[in-house]
Every structure is written in structure tokens, then in C-alpha cells.
Structure 1
Amino acid sequence: MGLYEGIKDVAKVLQQADNIPLYQQLLDLSTQALELQGEVARLKAENAELKRQKDIESKIQRHDEPIVTLIDSDVIYCAHCWDNEKKLIQVSTNEWNGQFVCPHCNFNGIYSRDINNEYLKRIAPRGPRIKII
């Protein structure tokens, strides 16, 4: 028998016995019991979320660049979102210049120094751009 059914049975007996003060006490207690059940459910959900975050946290791999990845994964996530909100937000990368931008917080930076250095070498000016006459 569940809590709700037990309270219902006791309430029926008290109502038949015409004991109004005890019946009112039972109603108050049943309200408190339902509130406690809701609180337990909320705490269980919060506990599950904290366990999930702790599990992810144990798999986080930090880099010199402002990004994080999960161990054994090449997916790049925003270190800013992880540090501030504990959210893994996949960043948009530009493989041409080694830069990234987070679609959630707009944080941006360089995810690959090697690619970025190669890019800078390719676009570096090779002499003056303005022809002096």
C-alpha cells in the first residue's frame, strides 16, 4: 500500500468517526507528506545530474588552448561554457585558420596553434602592398 492509499484509508475512518480535528491534522500531514515526496523527487534528479556532471568531469581533457575535449574523442568543446555552466557546447571550427567560435557564448580563440601559424605565414605580406610612384 502506498502513502496516498494509506492516508486515504485513515481519512475515511476519521471522517466516519466524526473526528474533525484529527481529520484536519491528517489532511495537514498528508499535504506535508506530498511536499516531501516532491522534494525527494527533486533531490533525486539533482543527485543524478551531479553524478552525470562528475562522470563527464572525470573524462575532461584540458588543453593549452581555451578548449576542452573528452578523453578518446576529437570533438572540441568550449572551455568557457564548461567552466562557467558545466555545459559541453561543441564549438564551430575553421580548419583553414585554426580558430573556433562557441555558438552558445560567442567565445572565440585558436584551437590549433600549428594551423594558425601556417595560416599566418600564407597571408603574411610579401613586400609592400602599396606601389609607390
Structure 2
Amino acid sequence: MGIYDAAKDAAKVLKEAGKIDEYQKILDLIDDLFEKRDRIEKLQKDNVHLKKQLETQENYFFENNSYWHKDNKDGPFCSRCFDKSKDLIRTIPTYINSNFSKCPECKNTVNFTGKEDPSISFQEENFDPYSPI
């Protein structure tokens, strides 16, 4: 017999005996127990969520504008999405042999190699911002 059943049985006995004040106290106790149970369930869910976030942070590292898995160097994952909401969104290369990748979720583009991309380099003295590429 659980605490809820015992409280309900006590309330029933008190009601039948005409002890309304005591009966009301038992009903208040039952309400309080339900509120506490709901609070405990919410805290347990929050705890699981925080443990997952901590585990994720411990298993990934930041390098070259992206997140990577520590064990198998899996990645790159979007740094914006990870920093904002701990979402691991894999970025996609912008084109073949590119040093840049783009997040399909937030559209953030980063150089994930740390190297200069020769396909977009230019010489400053000949640079014309209005010319087509």
C-alpha cells in the first residue's frame, strides 16, 4: 500500500466519522503529495537532460571554427548550433575540395580546415569588388 492509498483511506474514514477539519487536512496533504511527485518527475527529466548536455560537451572539442568528436574526429559540426542549443548538426562542404562547409540548419559557413582556400583568394592590388567572379 502506497502513501497515496493510505492517505485516501484515512480521508475516507475521517469523512465517514464526520471529522471534516481532519478530512480537509488529509485532502490538502494528498494535493501536496501530487505536487511534490510532479516536481520530482520534472527535476528527474531536467537532470537527465543536463547529464546528456554535459556528456556531449565532454566528448567534443572546438577546432578550426567547428566542433569535432574527441574519439574518432567525427565532424565537422556547426559551432553556432552547438553553442546555442547543443545540437550536433553536421556541416556540408560548400563545393568539392573546398575548405568551407555550411550548416544546413542555420546556414552558417565556416572554414573548417584552417587553411586558406585558393579558389577564393585574390591579389589586393587587382581586386575589383564590382567585377563578377
- TM bin, normalised by shorter chain, reads 0.7 to 0.9
CA distance, structure 2, for counterparts of residue 76 and residue 10 of structure 1 = 61
Shift of 1:41: 0.5
Please give the residue correspondences for 1:90-109 in structure 2 after superposition, counting only pairs within 5 Å: 90-96=90-96, 97-109=98-110
Shift of 1:2: 1.9
CA distance, structure 1, for counterparts of residue 19 and residue 80 of structure 2 = 62
Per-residue Cα deviation, 1:39-67 (whole angstroms, up to 9, x for no partner): 0010011011111111111111110x221
Change beyond 3 A, Cα 1:117–1:103 = closer
1:67 paired residue number: 66
Among all aligned residue pairs of Structure 1 and Structure 2, give the percentage whose two residues are the same amino acid: 26
Shift of 1:95: 4.9
Q: What is the identity, as a one-letter code, of the residue corresponding to 1:100?
A: S
Shift of 1:118: 4.2
1:117 paired residue number: 117
2:26 paired residue number: 26
CA distance, structure 2, for counterparts of residue 120 and residue 104 of structure 1 = 24
Q: Moved runs in structure 1, 4+ residues, more than 4 A?
A: none
1:130 paired residue number: none
Change beyond 3 A, Cα 1:3–1:90 = farther
Shift of 1:117: 2.2
CA distance, structure 2, for counterparts of residue 53 and residue 32 of structure 1 = 31
Please give the residue correspondences for 1:39-58 in structure 2 after superposition, counting only pairs within 5 Å: 39-58=39-58
- How many corresponding residue pairs? 122
CA distance, structure 2, for counterparts of residue 45 and residue 109 of structure 1 = 34
Q: What is the identity, as a one-letter code, of the residue corresponding to 2:91?
A: V
Counterpart of 1:40 in 2: which secondary structure?
helix
TM-score by length of 1: 0.78
Gaps of 5+ in 2: 124-133
CA distance, structure 2, for counterparts of residue 87 and residue 73 of structure 1 = 17
2:79 paired residue number: 79
TM-score by length of 2: 0.78
Q: What is the identity, as a one-letter code, of the residue corresponding to 1:59?
A: N
Shift of 1:98: 2.4
